[in-house]
């Protein structure tokens, strides 16, 4: 037992050895939360407080779940494959597979990834003759998923006008289509699982009695439905009682947990997924509703040097309503944070390239250098400069393996083997490779299916003429493929790739070799999946395997592929520079980090300035995003910004990000001169004066005390009064000296560009 705990610091040890009770662990960036989670599970099992089947551990990525299983396997002398450790979607999938009848699903139901869901919605709109310009499939998918994540079926969604009612009607039709086809999307996995437990009391009690300890990673990223699902499994919040009439005690007293003890690990300062439905308020709700007495802060950071952590702490402290913590390290202060000011995004990109070259010469591996940006659009200038310099780079978050077109084609054939009623899979490959089945034939088939209320496959005999003959040929191909379903999974995949014509099709393509290599890798993936997921334990039972839990190897593999396709994972390969958005960088760490484009309107994003969500400013989430970006760096951190940037086809003149103001001066080293009015720093280290040339004349720092142009003393965001247009707010500025001008939003009078030398604006 000592060896299990001796690597923990004091707060980690306190968290791991808590008595059975609800607990909230505030785990700062790089504070060892995965170590705490896995050691907590190992400690509970080793001390006999719970058996392995009594643990439910929820993560947000399959990668995190596998890491947890690997660590536990090294800590415990047991087979951990049968334990319920996985993502919300993965665990819900497991629950629904085990109780598919009670959930109203076919045994071999298939999962739609985001692309499949969009294709399904497109088919629905076409079958109902709905204009997809008025109801874009992507937006409709977002609407449907958002309702499901709120726990709302179509019948429960309020609609106040004809357009909203039409959208709700399409949601209802989509639900009916998915039910008929025996498919579920990602949001449906969770909602169907929640409804199953909510409506089936014997089943709910079974799992409440089974799972004695529920551990949740990244709790700040849970949405409303995920939190409700956890509460159901845990038996709900503890009850409060009125004061005892005899003793007078009570009132704030709450009973011990009636079901599972929830051990929630999260960081409210890293909640950056509100746009996906994540609700950081779940942390405070959990503390209040479950009357959590155990809140432990993990503040010692094992990743970054002190200056980086001090900067992160200084930035995030400007957010109100935090649960609160302060990161620190024993690693020393380290290097100062470097700040660079450039004239344009091109200058910024060229400087980054030169700095990366210098870092490489100093021995820094390119794979340990990350270029972070707020918006994907920013990568263009960076990629252009890297390409010209011949530096290898990888854009993190590109198409993943299971999302590549050739892989999705092969998976569609496999899905039809498992379930011929899957119309989305049918539509994807009915004419791929081309079989002469045209749009008219498919329309006739869809009409026949709609009239018979059947799947597309079942309606094939109803289509006459040459189109019907070709469709019948496709149906016969599916019969042949299904006859091979008895083959081992890797051989079945190989057989499908060959017999479907995919291999021949790509062999005839001019650039088909890479696609063929990917199809070969799909066969390897199937072999690895069977080897990894179907290992018997010491008793010969396949505890974590696929045959008992999912029906058969094929169904399990297809579920695995759909779940993996929903994740964002980096590829592996050569020593290449890493480019990614800050959102994509969460959970990663690098020796050197560049955060580029630190300008107001870009980072923080301009939409956040006026956005309010659940009573909280959008600027708070932007600040959390900056906090995440800063804490990705281990040793060296660069912050850069440009005075001019091409956005939406126009050159914009920007002020430095307000987040730069929040970094204490004692932590930074400016790589460019701090110019006064009339000049600014340039890449060659000198100072260049700009006036009538059109560049801004205001300095980057101190940001709020400098003029917005022409020495007027005005600034962006300031209220001003105009003799004719009245009261307005400055939203943009250009030029300098006698050419300085500002853009002002005058409300009812509209947006106006005004020359400062003429307008005679007065500060309001």
Residues designated catalytic:
33-34, 217-218, 270, 632
| Gap between the Cα atoms of 378 and 292, Å rounded | 43
Residue 244 burial (10 A CB sphere; 0-12, 13-18, 19+): exposed
The number of beta carbons lying within 10 Å of the beta carbon of residue 737 is: 17
Q: Which residues contact 646 (CB under 8 A, 6 or more apart)?
A: 344, 345, 652
Consecutive H or E run containing 591: strand 590-595
Task: Please state the separation of Cα 554 from the chain's center in Å.
Answer: 28
Give me the residue label for tokens 């399990």.
Answer: 556
Give backbone dihedrals phi and psi of 233, rounded to 5 degrees, phi first. -65, -30
Strands (E) located in 648-705 = 650-653, 668-670, 679-681, 687-689
| Gap between the Cα atoms of 270 and 409, Å rounded | 37
Pick the closest to residue 349 from 318, 381, 395 (CA basis): 381
The number of beta carbons lying within 10 Å of the beta carbon of residue 608 is: 19
What is the rounded radius of gyration, in angstroms, for the C-alpha atoms of the chain? 29
CB burial of 415-453 (b: ≥16 within 10 Å; e: otherwise) equals: bbbbbbbbbbbbbbbbbbeebebeeebbebbbebbeeee
User: In the numeric block, which tokens belong to residue 11?
Assistant: 């707060």
Give one DSSP letter per residue of 24-35, joined into a string.
Answer: EEEE-TTS-HHH
Give how far Cα 67 sits from Cα of 80, 261, 724, Å: 12, 23, 65
Q: In this structure, what DSSP letter does residue 651 have?
A: E
Task: Please state the separation of Cα 715 from the chain's center in Å.
Answer: 36
| Gap between the Cα atoms of 531 and 525, Å rounded | 10
User: In the numeric block, which tokens belong to residue 474?
Assistant: 């496709």
């Amino acid at each position: 037992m000592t060896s299990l705990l001796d690597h923990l610091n004091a707060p980690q040890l306190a968290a791991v050895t808590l008595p059975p009770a609800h607990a909230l662990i505030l785990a700062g960036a790089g504070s060892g939360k995965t170590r705490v989670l896995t050691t907590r599970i190992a400690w509970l099992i080793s001390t006999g407080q719970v058996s392995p089947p009594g643990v439910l551990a929820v993560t947000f990525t399959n990668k995190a779940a596998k890491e947890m299983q690997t660590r536990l396997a090294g800590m415990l002398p047991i087979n951990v494959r049968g334990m319920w450790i996985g993502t919300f979607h993965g665990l819900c999938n497991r629950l629904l597979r085990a109780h598919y009848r009670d959930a109203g699903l076919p045994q071999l139901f298939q999962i739609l990834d985001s692309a499949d869901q969009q294709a399904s919605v497109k088919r629905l709109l076409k079958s109902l003759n709905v204009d997809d310009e008025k109801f874009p499939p992507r937006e409709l998918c977002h609407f449907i998923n958002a309702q499901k994540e709120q726990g709302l079926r179509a019948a429960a969604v309020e609609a106040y006008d004809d357009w909203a009612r039409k959208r709700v009607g399409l949601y209802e039709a989509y639900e009916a289509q998915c039910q008929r086809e025996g498919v579920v999307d990602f949001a449906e996995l969770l909602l169907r699982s929640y409804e199953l437990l909510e409506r089936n009391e014997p089943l709910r009690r079974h799992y409440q009695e089974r799972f004695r300890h529920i551990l949740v990673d990244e709790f700040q990223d849970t949405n409303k439905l995920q939190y409700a699902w956890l509460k159901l499994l845990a038996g709900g919040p503890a009850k409060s009682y009125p004061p005892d009439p005899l003793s007078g005690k009570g009132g704030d007293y709450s009973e011990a947990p009636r079901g599972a003890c929830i051990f929630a690990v999260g960081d409210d300062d890293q909640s950056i997924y509100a746009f996906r439905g994540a609700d950081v308020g779940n942390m405070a709700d959990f503390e209040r509703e479950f009357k959590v007495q155990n809140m432990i802060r993990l503040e010692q950071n094992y990743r970054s040097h002190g200056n980086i952590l001090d900067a992160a702490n200084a930035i995030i402290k400007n957010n109100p309503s935090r649960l609160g913590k302060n990161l620190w390290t024993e690693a020393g202060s380290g290097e100062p944070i470097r700040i660079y000011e450039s004239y344009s995004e091109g200058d910024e990109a060229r400087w980054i390239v030169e700095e990366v070259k210098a870092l490489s010469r100093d021995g820094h591996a390119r794979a340990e250098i990350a270029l972070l940006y707020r918006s994907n659009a920013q990568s263009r200038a960076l990629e252009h400069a890297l390409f010209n310099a011949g530096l290898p780079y990888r854009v993190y978050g590109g198409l993943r393996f299971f999302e590549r077109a050739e892989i999705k084609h092969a998976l569609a054939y496999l899905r039809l083997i498992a379930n011929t009623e899957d119309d989305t899979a049918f539509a994807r490959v009915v004419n791929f490779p081309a079989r002469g089945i045209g749009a008219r034939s498919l329309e006739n088939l869809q009409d026949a299916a709609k009239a018979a209320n059947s799947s597309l496959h079942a309606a094939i005999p109803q289509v006459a003429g040459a189109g019907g003959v070709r469709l019948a040929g496709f149906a016969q191909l599916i019969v042949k493929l299904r006859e091979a379903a008895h083959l081992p999974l890797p051989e079945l995949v190989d057989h499908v790739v060959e017999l479907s014509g995919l291999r021949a099709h790509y062999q005839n393509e001019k650039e088909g070799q890479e696609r063929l290599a990917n199809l070969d890798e799909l066969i390897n993936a199937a072999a690895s999946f069977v080897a990894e997921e179907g290992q018997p334990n010491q008793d010969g039972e396949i505890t974590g395997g696929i045959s008992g839990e999912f029906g058969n190897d094929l169904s399990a593999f297809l579920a695995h592929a759909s779940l993996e396709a929903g994740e964002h994972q980096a590829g592996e390969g050569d020593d290449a520079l890493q480019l990614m958005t800050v959102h994509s960088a969460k959970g990663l760490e690098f020796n050197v980090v560049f955060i580029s484009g630190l300008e107001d309107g870009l980072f923080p994003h301009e939409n956040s300035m006026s956005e309010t969500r659940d009573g909280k400013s959008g600027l708070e989430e932007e600040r959390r995003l900056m906090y995440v970006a800063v804490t990705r760096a281990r040793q060296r951190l660069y912050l850069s910004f440009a005075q001019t940037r091409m956005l939406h086809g126009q050159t914009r003149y920007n002020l430095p990000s307000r987040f730069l103001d929040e970094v204490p001066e004692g932590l930074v080293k400016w790589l460019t001169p701090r110019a006064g009015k009339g000049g600014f720093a340039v890449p060659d280290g000198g100072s260049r004066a700009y006036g009538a040339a059109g560049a801004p004349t205001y300095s980057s720092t101190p940001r709020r005390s400098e003029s917005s142009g022409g020495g007027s003393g005005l600034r962006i965001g300031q209220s001003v009064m105009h003799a004719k247009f009245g009261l307005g707010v400055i939203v943009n500025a250009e030029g300098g000296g006698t050419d300085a001008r500002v853009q002002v939003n005058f409300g009812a009078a509209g947006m106006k560009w005004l020359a400062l030398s003429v307008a005679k604006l007065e500060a309001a």
